[in-house]
Amino acid sequence: MEVYKKAQTVLLADDDPTLRMVAAAHLRKEGYEVVTAENGHRLLELLVEYEADLIVLDVDMPTMNGFEACKRIREFESCKNLPILMMTGLEGNSSIEEAYRVGATDFIAKPVNWTLLKQRLKFMLRATTAIKELSDSEARLAKAQDIAKLGYWHWDLKRKVLTLSQQLQELIKFPSTQIDSVDHILDAVVSKDREHLRQVISLAQTLPTSFPTDFFMRILVCQQGKRTMHVQSSLECDLHGEAIAIHGTVQDVTERVNAEERISFLSHFDRKTHLQNRESFARSLDGMIRLYQGLGGVVTLVLLDINRFGRINDIFGHTAGDQVLIEVASRLKHCLGTFSKSDKYVGTEICRWGSDIYGVAVHAKRSSDQSGEIPVALLATLVEPISANGHEVSLTGCIGYAHVSDRVEDTDTLVRNAETALRHAKRQGRNSAHCYHSGMSQASERRVLLEGDLQKALEENQLYLHYQPRIHAAKNIIVGAEALLRWQHPTLGLVSPVEFIPLLEEMGLIHNIGAWVFREACKQLKIWQDMGHHEFVMSVNLSAVQFRDVRLAQEVRDVIQNAGIQPSTLEVELTETSIMEDVSQTQATLMVLKEMGLRIAVDDFGTGYSSLSYLRSFPLDTLKVDRAFIRDLTTNDEDKSLATAIIAMAQSLNLRVVAEGIELQEQASFLLEKSCDEFQGFLFSKPISAEAFTELLTSWPNKPNHTALPSRA
């Protein structure tokens, strides 16, 4: 590719037409493009039209002379550096002086020596180009410094003058670029850094080599506040090696430093709660344990989990959820603060352990101080309702905690133990705090084993149902059965539903297995009804998780239809605790089941917190009094009066009362006397297989225990 260099344009003004013609011819021969004007006025017009690289001006012209034209040209911003050559016909120095005064770059005397003119023009153009390149480069440098927020300084040690570059003066908004005493700069520096800088400056005056080559200082900049400056310097020496000046740069690195601080904050602290994060906490815990190894005492790791936090997010939204997390963090911090002030404690640490879990580490001076007062106090901070995003939120939590001991001195084991204790606490229910003990680990191992095997339990036919009869107390006949799930584990033998049902719930398997229980129980119910026991009622236990599953109603409907049974002969049992968990939702779901014609029973009554009158608002049919009230009925007077009161109140609410866990004749007799409606318990039969139950149905009332019952009308 060929590059054509654009010809440079010369604007030439002279009132002499011959000179214009000759000059133009000479210059064109040199490769210039030439435009001519007969006076200064015309020249100014042409200047607008043409982009001139050079101007040649005659001094003596009519209309507007050369001096005036030159002055006007210089008034244009774009012509400040345009080379102007004046041709002076006038004798004497005064016209030369005048030419420079009005802004001419150079002059040439008339009559013009054309060779000289051409040389002058060439030189002027080269010089202008060089100046332009220099000023462009300076502008670029200034721009770069602007972008980099960089300024230059020079400290003359002899004259004791500090000079700042324009950029630096603007950067720190200093009133001038010349500072006669370096100490003035101290006024701009934030008080914390002032003393250090003062020492640096005064030392540099006696020992310049001691001036640091690299340091940071914070300066208060007008309207911008505190800015962090990075100062770099180098020493300037004379020929004899004596320091004569120090010069260097100052760069505003505030944004970088802020970003670094933020990054460092985020790597140590939790963004939401501003508590330490888990990694940083683990390091603090390590430190605490090391201190304990020297000082003794006791180190405790507490893990606090907010119960059902996910529901807060679901119901009130994530903003409210975040506010709850922040408020809990602040309450826990405050609570811990009151302990750390006490001289019983060496130190405390707190962190956000996980999404809704907080970690607290405490080093108490004496091992007698491991009373668990901190876990209890932390849990108590949750009780007060939290106002979050316009909602009032009530919380409960669970705590698991573990101590460092002779056998546990490493952070990993301590953490594992506290986590085990927390899992244990969560299984025990809301607002419980549990301290780790080794039995928990064995339980955990068994849990892991069971969890692994539960997946295939149903496929491999390890699950089956047993049935326990329900006896009409007054008539002494079998009126129904409760279906109870069994798991025959290949190596562990029979596993209790009390142990594996919570696992099914946690693993999300309860729905499928619960549905299977329903199908099996209803099939069996149909068989027994077809044998002539038309009024026979089957009870099926429903877990809270299953109960809250939207698929429940439709599935129960399908099962009833497929089995061909009357819905009124199927009863679902819900524990008292699961009914009370979410009252308004419970009411709605129960209404749906009720409208389908099902019977509804409250199981394990007396183990939860509900009162009988509260249960009035639910569409219930049956109340099953928990075994705990029946067990000591014959020996404990309080239980006697409680059972009596429950039966009376339930009947006043039109509920059928079933007493669970009757093992003794005396218990049955007492309850019969109090008009309890139905019995269930080992006295009559343990839960048994369907075949055994069929046999029992046919052999009843020839069962030995039965004969022992008092005769009833």
Q: Which positions lie near Mg ion, rule CB under 5 A?
A: 541, 573, 603-604, 660
* 542 lies in the binding site for ligand C2E (CB under 6 A): yes
**Given the DSSP bridges, would you call strands 386-388 and 397-403 parallel, antiparallel or unpaired?**
unpaired
650 close to 657: Cβ distance less than 8 angstroms = yes
Instruction: Tell me which residue of 528, 607, 612 sits closest to 570, measured CA to CA.
Output: 528
Report in angstroms how near the CB of residue 602 gets to Mg ion at its nearest.
Answer: 9
Report in angstroms how near the CB of residue 501 gets to ligand C2E at its nearest.
Answer: 5
Query: For residues 240 and 242, what is the distance between their CA atoms, to the nearest angstrom?
Result: 6
Chain length of the chain: 713
∠306-310-314 over CA atoms, to 5°? 140
Query: For residues 434 and 300, what is the distance between their CA atoms, to the nearest angstrom?
Result: 12
**Edge-to-edge strand order for the sheet containing 84-88?**
33-37, 9-13, 54-58, 84-88, 106-109
Q: Which is nearer to ligand C2E, 166 or 585 (CB)?
A: 585
**Given the DSSP bridges, would you call strands 9-13 and 33-37 parallel, antiparallel or unpaired?**
parallel
The listed partner (ligand C2E, Mg ion, none) that binds 681, CB under 5 to 8 Å by sort, is ligand C2E
Query: For residues 664 and 8, what is the distance between their CA atoms, to the nearest angstrom?
Result: 122
Report in angstroms how near the CB of residue 349 gets to Mg ion at its nearest.
Answer: 44
Pick from 52, 117, 357, 485: which binds ligand C2E (CB under 6 A)? 485
Binding-residue pattern over the window 677 to 706 for ligand C2E, x denoting contact by CB under 6 A: ---xxx----x-------------------
Q: Which two tokens stand for residue 653?
A: 């609410």
Q: Which stretch binds ligand C2E (CB under 6 A): 140-148, 349-357, 491-499, 524-532?
A: 491-499
* 517 lies in the binding site for ligand C2E (CB under 6 A): yes
Binding-site size for ligand C2E (CB under 6 A) equals 24
* 502 lies in the binding site for ligand C2E (CB under 6 A): no
Query: For residues 125 and 158, what is the distance between their CA atoms, to the nearest angstrom?
Result: 42
* 495 lies in the binding site for ligand C2E (CB under 6 A): no
Report in angstroms how near the CB of residue 478 gets to ligand C2E at its nearest.
Answer: 14
Pick from 468, 476, 529, 622: which binds ligand C2E (CB under 6 A)? 468
Report in angstroms how near the CB of residue 658 gets to ligand C2E at its nearest.
Answer: 10
Of 76-105, which residues contact ligand C2E (CB under 6 A)? none
Query: For residues 370 and 382, what is the distance between their CA atoms, to the nearest angstrom?
Result: 21
Pick from 501, 509, 647, 668: which binds ligand C2E (CB under 6 A)? 501
Q: Which stretch binds ligand C2E (CB under 6 A): 140-148, 151-159, 539-547, 704-712?
A: 539-547
Q: Is 9 helix (H, G, I), strand (E, B) or coil?
A: strand
Of 375-394, which residues contact ligand C2E (CB under 6 A)? none
Report in angstroms how near the CB of residue 604 gets to ligand C2E at its nearest.
Answer: 5
Report in angstroms how near the CB of residue 651 gets to ligand C2E at its nearest.
Answer: 21
Report in angstroms how near the CB of residue 657 gets to Mg ion at its nearest.
Answer: 13
Query: For residues 485 and 468, what is the distance between their CA atoms, to the nearest angstrom?
Result: 11
72 close to 44: Cβ distance less than 8 angstroms = yes
Pick from 165, 661, 670, 679: which binds ligand C2E (CB under 6 A)? 661
Residue 177: C-alpha distances to residues 142, 147, 169, 219 (Å)? 16, 20, 6, 16
Report in angstroms how near the CB of residue 555 gets to Mg ion at its nearest.
Answer: 19
* 496 lies in the binding site for ligand C2E (CB under 6 A): yes
Check the CA dihedral 389-380-421-411 and report its sign. positive
Residue 185: C-alpha distances to residues 146, 189, 208, 283 (Å)? 21, 7, 18, 42
Q: Which is nearer to ligand C2E, 400 or 681 (CB)?
A: 681
310 close to 385: Cβ distance less than 8 angstroms = no
The listed partner (ligand C2E, Mg ion, none) that binds 418, CB under 5 to 8 Å by sort, is none
Q: Where are the beta strands (DSSP E) in 365-474?
A: 386-388, 391-393, 397-403, 432-435, 463-472
DSSP-derived secondary structure letter, 661: -
* 573 lies in the binding site for ligand C2E (CB under 6 A): yes
The listed partner (Mg ion, ligand C2E, none) that binds 231, CB under 5 to 8 Å by sort, is none
301 close to 401: Cβ distance less than 8 angstroms = yes
The listed partner (Mg ion, ligand C2E, none) that binds 86, CB under 5 to 8 Å by sort, is none
* 541 lies in the binding site for ligand C2E (CB under 6 A): yes
Pick from 571, 604, 639, 678: which binds ligand C2E (CB under 6 A)? 604
Q: What is the DSSP string of 555-593?
A: HHHHHHHHHT--GGGEEEEEEHHHHHTTHHHHHHHHHHH
Q: Which stretch binds ligand C2E (CB under 6 A): 139-147, 202-210, 540-548, 585-593?
A: 540-548
* 327 lies in the binding site for ligand C2E (CB under 6 A): no
Q: Which is nearer to Mg ion, 219 or 650 (CB)?
A: 650
602 close to 622: Cβ distance less than 8 angstroms = yes
Q: Contact positions toward ligand C2E, by CB under 6 A? A: 468, 484-485, 496-498, 501, 514, 517, 541-543, 573, 603-604, 627, 660-663, 680-682, 687
